[in-house]
Chains A and B, each alone.
Chain A
Amino acid sequence: MMTKAGAFCIFFLLLLFCPAVSHAIPAFSRQYQTSCTTCHLDFPKLNDFGKAFKDAGFKFPIDNESFLKIPPVMLGAPAQKELFPHTVWPGQIPGILPVGLRMNTFFQATSGNRGNFNSLVPPGAVPPFIPKTDFSTGLFSIFTAGNFGDDIAFWVDEDLSIAGDNAAGGLGDGYLKFINLGRVFKLPKDSLSLRAGRFELDLPFTQARSIDISPYDIYGQANIGAVTPGFAQKNVNNQFTLGGGANGLEFSGGRMYGGYHYSIAVVDQNTSGVSQSGNSNGVVPSPTGGANGGVGFASDSNFKDLYGRFSYRFNLERDAASRNGVQAAGASGPRDHTFLNLGTFYFYGRSVQRFSGQDLTGMPVVLTVREPFYRVGGDFSFNYRTFNIYGLIMYGHDTNQLPVDITGTPVPLPVTGAPPPVGFVHGTPASFTGGFVQADYLVLPWVMTIARWDVVNSGEDRINGLSQSTSTPFGLPFRSTRNRFTPGVQFLIHANIKASFEYQFRPQQSVTIITNPITGLPVAIQPFRTNTAVTALEWVF
């Protein structure tokens, strides 16, 4: 059995090392015999041409055939179309296996007061060891993407290993996308496409293909309520995060390099990211049964979650031809548009709770409630030449269904079985707010400078990796704010090799809570600044 301290240590390290999963596509580079920088500014960040290439289904937006240096293999002559339905509709596959590989490796240094975590360890226990400096293997991933002719694109990426551990890898995205489905319904070009499979939600700014070493805090924010009596009790344990992969269908349309863009996705629930049976935290809602037997907080797929996004991008060039082009025509060559992009997004889902309880006749039953929750936010992005500033703000809200006994009185949490719950009432919602602002400036074609600020304000904040700890403000029922300031710089050693450096300032995160003897209110003491310097080397080929 892993100790709390050990588990905590591992969570902490995972948090610090948790690299943003990013992908560039050497498979395309090979087929078109062109450099990464045709589509990327500082891979995997897309330039306007890369966005148009992606919108078109991983193809050059116009006249794709004349750019393909390796001709595709025809799965049926185009003339076969005349025979349809007495023949299989002809398609094609890429002429070479469209495979790219990616590897990265890390080195990090953690500031001296990391040892303040030791106060979390019970007296007599060995404190967790957090090394001051550490080398770490990152991801080895395979990814393949392309298209099967005019109108069907595909993407699969899979982490073969994470941190050197073969078992820890997993599927990233894996989907088939039907481009320009709108044609069938005589809709304007690019107005309707359909994507099916597993994918990152159409986030305002991608997490999976971000240039940053560390992920955006808000995208990893789960919503947890506290069950400590004396506060507004919250029976919420929703492990859904916006940055997580989703399985389902997505309709989308518009263009990412100018004008409107929308998407509407119908996806499976994914609200139970961690095993609840392992939850030993006194203030985090936990299931009633030891081995659960399906009782507790769960995800079930009967209700599909919904995600929608709409954005509009104003290209700000005066000249109409330049404004409407894939890229703007600059005096010394094409460049990305000067633009302002404004968007909004909304996610609606339900997290499932199951409790062992009784019906009104006293018969033991499993009570199930599907608790509505939503995430809503807005985002902006402004670009001038190679300077881009962007950010989003987001609000998360879970209804908080509290179990009640047969008299209608809320059952004290955590639920012990007596009195048995018979139903649920709405309590005080569990919520969080947060977001980030990031500025990127490509000083030289091979030097990217980054400044980023992440903030998350929430009650019961467990995201700091302290999920197994009890006496921290992150598991206590009052709101706390996590700030993080992360300057960074990245160097393209070659178009496919990148050295990245990032320094994470985490001001004023307190580890221990005591009661103020004068006011009687809880106060956080022993602040630490786990400032972390992370260096990454990444190469794709």
Chain B
Amino acid sequence: MKLNNLLTLFIMSVLAAPMCLAGSIKGKVSPGKSVVYLESASGAVTAVTGKKITMDQRGLLFQPHVLVVQAGTTVEFLNSDKVQHNVFWPSISGDKKKSHNLGTWPTGQSKPFQFNEPGVVTLLCNVHPEMAGYIIVSPTPYFTETGADGAYTLASVPDGEYTITAWHEGKKIQSKKITVKGDTTADLTLQ
């Protein structure tokens, strides 16, 4: 009985430890309206399972224009327009071997694609060259879109070593090492 109590206490304290030792990252990305995500120091990818999210094509636009997802997420590419569209990406984070063309499909239907590899996916349509959308695939569950002013908060981030990356359309993607210990701040300026 005593042993059991001790064991329970031990298990509880082990479980509680990460919770106690979690913090948050607050900061500002310049310019505003950016995407921020964390990568673990080891570079290991934490994939999510069974998560689905929709990227719409409506009014000759990708909607939303920018989508951030965790690796493992399935994106449903929907065509809500009464014209034909196409979706392809010429690379993922510049790696042309990861290019893909989803083809074309009728109005009201969607085509799924599971993004397992982290990186920046630039969505294009070969019928409407002005169309562009972005999917940012985060290697961890710690990602967010900043406000218009660039302010962001990544909550419940376990203490540890990370790489923080900020992306903004048309700017050079930027990463830096960060150590999270309790509440941390990280500002990034993209050129």
A: residues with CB less than 8 A from B are: 32-35, 37-38, 49, 60-63, 66-67, 69, 321, 325-327, 329-334, 495
> How would you classify the secondary structure of chain B's contact residues: helix, strand, loop or mixed?
loop
> Distance in Å from the Cβ of A203 to the closest Cβ of chain B?
28
Q: Is B176 an interface residue (CB 8 A)?
A: no
> How would you classify the secondary structure of chain A's contact residues: helix, strand, loop or mixed?
loop
Please give, as numbers and ranges, the residues of chain A lying within 8 Å of B86 by CB-CB distance: 332-334
CB atoms of A33 and B130 under 8 A apart? yes
CB atoms of A38 and B128 under 8 A apart? yes
Q: Is B60 an interface residue (CB 8 A)?
A: yes
> Distance in Å from the Cβ of B85 to the closest Cβ of chain A?
8
CB atoms of A332 and B60 under 8 A apart? no
Interface members, chain B 49-63 (any A CB < 8 Å): 58-60
CB atoms of A34 and B83 under 8 A apart? no
A327 to B86 alpha-carbon distance, docked (Å): 12
- CB-nearest residue of chain A relative to B127? A334
Please give, as numbers and ranges, the residues of chain A lying within 8 Å of B185 by CB-CB distance: none
A193 to B126 alpha-carbon distance, docked (Å): 32
CB atoms of A330 and B104 under 8 A apart? yes
CB atoms of A63 and B82 under 8 A apart? yes
Q: Is B101 an interface residue (CB 8 A)?
A: yes
Q: Is B103 an interface residue (CB 8 A)?
A: yes
Please give, as numbers and ranges, the residues of chain A lying within 8 Å of B58 by CB-CB distance: 66
Seed contacts A34-B130, A35-B128; 14 additional CB < 8 Å A-B pairs: A34-B60, A38-B60, A49-B83, A66-B81, A67-B59, A325-B84, A326-B84, A327-B127, A329-B106, A331-B101, A332-B101, A333-B125, A334-B86, A334-B127
CB atoms of A332 and B126 under 8 A apart? yes
CB atoms of A332 and B129 under 8 A apart? no
Q: Which of A35, A325, A327, A331 contacts B130, CB < 8 Å?
A: A35
Which of B81, B84, B85, B86 has most chain A Cβ within 10 Å?
A: B84
CB atoms of B60 and A33 under 8 A apart? yes
CB atoms of B88 and A60 under 8 A apart? no
CB atoms of B60 and A330 under 8 A apart? no
A265 to B106 alpha-carbon distance, docked (Å): 38
- CB-nearest residue of chain A relative to B129? A35
- CB-nearest residue of chain A relative to B106? A321
Please give, as numbers and ranges, the residues of chain A lying within 8 Å of B105 by CB-CB distance: 329
A326 to B60 alpha-carbon distance, docked (Å): 16
Please give, as numbers and ranges, the residues of chain A lying within 8 Å of B59 by CB-CB distance: 66-67, 69
Q: Which of A33, A63, A66, A333 contacts B126, CB < 8 Å?
A: A333
Please give, as numbers and ranges, the residues of chain B lying within 8 Å of A329 by CB-CB distance: 84, 103-106
Q: What would 19 A/B residue contacts be, using CB atoms closer than 8 Å? A: A34-B128, A49-B127, A61-B82, A62-B83, A63-B81, A67-B59, A69-B59, A321-B106, A327-B84, A329-B84, A329-B105, A329-B106, A331-B101, A332-B86, A332-B101, A332-B103, A332-B126, A333-B88, A333-B104
A67 to B58 alpha-carbon distance, docked (Å): 8
Please give, as numbers and ranges, the residues of chain B lying within 8 Å of A60 by CB-CB distance: 82-83
Please give, as numbers and ranges, the residues of chain B lying within 8 Å of A321 by CB-CB distance: 106
A245 to B2 alpha-carbon distance, docked (Å): 104
> What 5 pairs between A and B have smallest CB-CB spacing?
A333-B86, A334-B84, A63-B82, A62-B82, A333-B126
A341 to B125 alpha-carbon distance, docked (Å): 28
